Structure 1
Amino acid sequence: MFDIIVIGGGAAGYYGAIHIAESNPNLKVAILERGKEVLTKVKVSGGGRCNVTNSEFNPSELAKNYPRGERELVGPFHNHCCGDTMAFFEKRGVRLKIEADGRIFPTSNSSQTIIDCFVSETERLGIKVFKNSSVVDILPLTKKTDALDYAWEIKSIRGTYKAKKILVATGSNPKIWNMLVQLGHTIIPAVPSLFTFNIKDDRIRGIQGVSTNASIKILPSKMKNGKFSAALKTFGIHPADLESEGPLLITHWGMSGPGILRLSAWGAQLLHELNYKFNIRVNWLPEFHEEGALRQLMQIKEIEGKKTVLRTKSFDLPKRLWISLVKASDISEADKWADISKVQLQNLAKQLTNCRFQVDGKSTFKEEFVTAGGVDLKEINFKTFESKVLPNLFFAGEVINVDAITGGFNFQNAWTGAFIAAKAIASTT
């Protein structure tokens, strides 16, 4: 029998269990993990380096990185934010570094450093960890057992446990979600949140690896009888959320990079409805609009008349991309600036600033599969992360309908929720 059982041996589960045990050393705490290994997502995150958190220390600004959960997380972030996460690890001997883009990693550049820290802390605090213990049922108890007020019975494939309180930190686990539905909770259906766009187009074929800053916009589609605006409202998406500016990476399959991933996160549910078939507009020169680019090209035509267009990179663009866009504008390798027509210049201006692509499918972004969906946020008390449906049931991490863009933000949601839940659990058990 345990005072607290944490279901899920991942980031949120370990962080929560450690804080519970530290806050009240008299509590008996256990973690149930379905796999043969713990902290598997921590291990692969950040390319194996573990992007622990982000250097956005302002709670209100930090919350803006969450397509689902922005409003709900502002308060919790004032309670436990990125600086608190850094202090937790550094207090335990894990040295951290802030990189130029704001992401925070252990100086060891190894996720094993974070895993070792968690494992060491659970051993020090006497937290029991049961692996290969997939949960098959969660039952609320209505009667007192052994004169103690146990509220829950958790059945796993390896045994049955009773606990006064439970913290569910199982991430995107459909089986656990189904159990929570049986307990009366509402689950928002899960859809992929971070993914790259599959695009087959001659303009980007053969130039994989090219990366440049660009402005990208998802264009209105003929969906739900043409009610695109209504669909935006249904999913709580502002049209501005479907526009992004940032690094765009051309891949073998299409497009990736922060600029694309931000769109995939904010448009997750809408793009799922579209079956990942939609159009985007890319402006390779975000500082220019089409007319401005055309005027610039006409000036270059006057100045560089004797040079070939292909070899005169007139803007700060990767050379291979410039060549591809020039060719797409019906301009040959031998054409000189003086010889091209205004129509060809207009074509080039359009390719540079109003370049349209058809997206046909998606690909997972590295190993970091993140989903939108989970326990409905309306059913959670964000002052404690306790269920509003059933007492003594707490949540942390991606089991709830919160997700974020890349940069350490998904982990910070896990740390914050687990910390607040742990403090609430420890103070009332």
Structure 2
Amino acid sequence: MNSKYDIIIIGGGAAGFFTAINIAEKNKKYKIAILERGKEVLSKVRVSGGGRCNVTHACFIPNDLVKYYPRGERELKGPFNQFCSGDTIEWFENHGVELKIEDDGRMFPTTDSSQTIIDCFIKATEKLKIDILTLQSVQSIFQKENSWKIDTNSDTFQCQKIILTTGSNTKVWEMLTNLGHTIVPPVPSLFTFNIKDSRIKDLMGVSALATVKVKGSNLKASGPLLITHWGMSGPGILRLSAWGARELFDKNYHFTLQVNWLNETIFEECLDELKELKEVNNKKLISKFCPFDFPKRLWESLTFASGISNELKWADVSKKQLILLAEQLTNGQFQVNGKSTFKEEFVTAGGIDLKEINFKTMESKILPNLYLAGEIVNIDAITGGFNFQNAWTGGFIISESI
């Protein structure tokens, strides 16, 4: 059968629904369909943020917001000036969903349930008479004179404009390559590091504010570091993995990680402080007296790694041992052997080359009447609601442009 629409959106996720709803609200006469290859729509929304859906982030200045995007920082400035986090909050409020801000800036529905977002989208598509067609796996797309033809596993569709919101779907990327687009090869982003090391072996759950660096590279990040049973995780590590997605892929995830457990304190400052402590606390046991705002168990482990026994007092510590301890605290070197995926929020770096997109309209510069939003393009962010914000902004801009 040959179904005709004005606009067809391929991909029934966050970006697809948001785009469809915004277009239909601005122009009631368009006949719109969403094609989804799975039997369920919005499945990634359901699991995101641990089932609570981290809708956006409480960062309201476009020039600050773009700094959370390892890929897309420059390109998103204009779009975020059109539709930013504040606009997202207002949009959801107008659609009956109230959001709240958590201490770390992440924003969730007040219900703490992603189902609230799903219900909001489904209700809007029903009201606006947008067709949602599941189990439609797209096999080919091609442009006729002034329309598009889409073949799926069960149907053929025709439309004036086509919008792709298929995330990191390699099959769709392949189709676009055949139509003349360039794809930046996908690599994982947002992952944790596998490290086997006696210094952190029994410290699962211990967390410290640290600065982490990849030895022999410019990659560096700061933030809470969490010790896990397989190695290291936490916001600082995830940030480093996002900014280093390509470089760490090229290293096959085998590299030396330098950890400054005292965040920005440099070696010389640390050594001076340790020498001072030796004078003032000479009767106290080093392993039991941690002078820094720092987990006790980690302190004990690092003193032991510096050759300081549990029974040694500050008065009896040698200069060599203090140098070793300052080194462990400010420049601990750990061998990373591989990575682990961070929860179910799998994010890839890669996708359609940003040079081939007009960011004023989100239209392809290569294929007229084809628009792109969400993770299908080479934009990704660190964790915290930023990837969703990119989806909302892209969808809004497409709706304005159409």
**TM-score scaled by length of structure 1:** 0.92
- Measured in 2, the distance between the counterparts of 1:332 and 1:38 equals 59
Q: How does 1:293-372 map to 2 (within 5 A)?
A: 293-372=270-349
Indicate the SS of the match to 2:307.
coil
The aligned counterpart of 1:152 is 148
Alignment partner of 1:215 out of 205, 211, 214: 211
2:197 is equivalent to residue 201 of structure 1: yes
Letter matched to residue 278 of structure 2: K
Unpaired runs of at least 5, structure 1: 143-148, 222-238
Aligned equivalents of 1:91, 1:318: Cα separation in 2? 45
**Structure 2 residue aligned with 1:122:** 125
- Please show how residues 22-421 of structure 1 align to structure 2 within 5 Å: 22-142=25-145, 149=146, 151-220=147-216, 239=218, 242-421=219-398
Cα drift, residue 302 of structure 1:
1.5
> Runs of 5+ in structure 2 lacking a partner?
none
State the distance in 1 between where 2:389 and 2:248 align: 25
SS of residue in 2 equivalent to 1:176: helix
Instruction: State the AA in 2 paired with 1:92.
Output: H
Query: Does 2:20 align with 1:17?
Result: yes
The 3-state SS of whatever aligns with 1:153 is: strand
SS of 1:71 mapped into structure 2: coil
- Distance in 2 (alpha carbons) for counterparts of 1:136 and 1:249: 44
Residue of structure 2 aligned with 1:5, choices 5, 8, 12: 8
Percent identity, please. 62
Structure 2: distance between partners of 1:339 and 1:7: 70
Partner AA of 2:27 in structure 1: N
Whole-angstrom CA distance in 2 between matches of 1:338 and 1:368: 50
- Give the whole-Å Cα distance in 2 for the aligned partners of 1:287 and 1:167: 46
Q: Counterpart of 1:94 in structure 2: which amino acid? A: V
Corresponding letter in the other structure for 1:140: Q
Deviation at 1:287, TM superposition (A): 4.1
SS at match of 1:6: strand
* Amino acid paired to 2:212: I
Runs of 4+ more than 2 Å apart: none
Deviations 1:76-130 (A, max 9, x none): 0001111111111111111110111111111111111111111111111100001
**Per-residue deviation, residues 166-217 of structure 1 (Å, max 9, x unmatched):** 1000000000000101111000000001111111111111101111100111
Match of 1:232 in 2: none
For 2:54, what is the secondary structure of its paired residue?
A: coil
Alpha-carbon distance in structure 2 between the residues aligned to 1:390 and 1:245: 41
Tell me, what secondary structure is at the counterpart of 1:217?
A: strand
What letter corresponds to residue 371 of structure 2 in structure 1? F
CA distance in 2, matches of 1:321, 1:115: 43
Aligned equivalents of 2:214, 2:395: Cα separation in 1: 35
Does structure 1 retain, via aligned residues, the 8 Å contact 2:211–2:264? no
Q: How many residues align?
A: 399
Tell me which amino acid in the other structure corresponds to 1:308.
L
Separation of aligned partners in 2, 1:44 and 1:338: 55
Equivalent AA in structure 2 for residue 217 of structure 1: K
Contact 2:210 2:224 in 1 (8 A): yes
Counterpart residue type for residue 37 of structure 1 = E
CA distance in 2, matches of 1:174, 1:159: 21
Shift of 1:158: 2.1
Q: Which residue of 2 aligns with 1:231?
A: none
The TM-score, its normalising length taken from structure 2, stands at 0.98
3-state DSSP of counterpart to 1:43: helix
8 Å CA contact 2:54, 2:385 repeated in 1: yes
1:48 counterpart letter in structure 2: G
Distance 1:161 1:31 in 2: 11
Residues in 1 aligned to 2:264 and 2:80: alpha-carbon distance in whole angstroms: 34
* Cα deviation digits, residues 106-158 of structure 1 (max 9, x gap): 1111111111111111111100001111111111113xxxxxx5x11111112
Q: Distance in 2 between matches of 1:306 and 1:415?
A: 61
How far apart are residue 245 of structure 1 and its match?
1.2
Supply the AA of the counterpart residue of 2:90.
A
Residue aligned with 2:204, SS: coil
Can you list the C-alpha shifts for 1:35-82, whole angstroms capped at 9, x where unaligned? 111111111111111110011110111111111111110000001111
| Equivalent residues of 2:165, 2:374 under 8 A apart | yes
1:12 and 1:344 map into 2 onto residues whose CA distance is: 56
Give the distance between the partners of 2:365 and 2:161, measured in 1 at CA: 14
Cα distance between partner residues in 1 of 2:263 and 2:240: 16
* 1:145 aligned partner: none
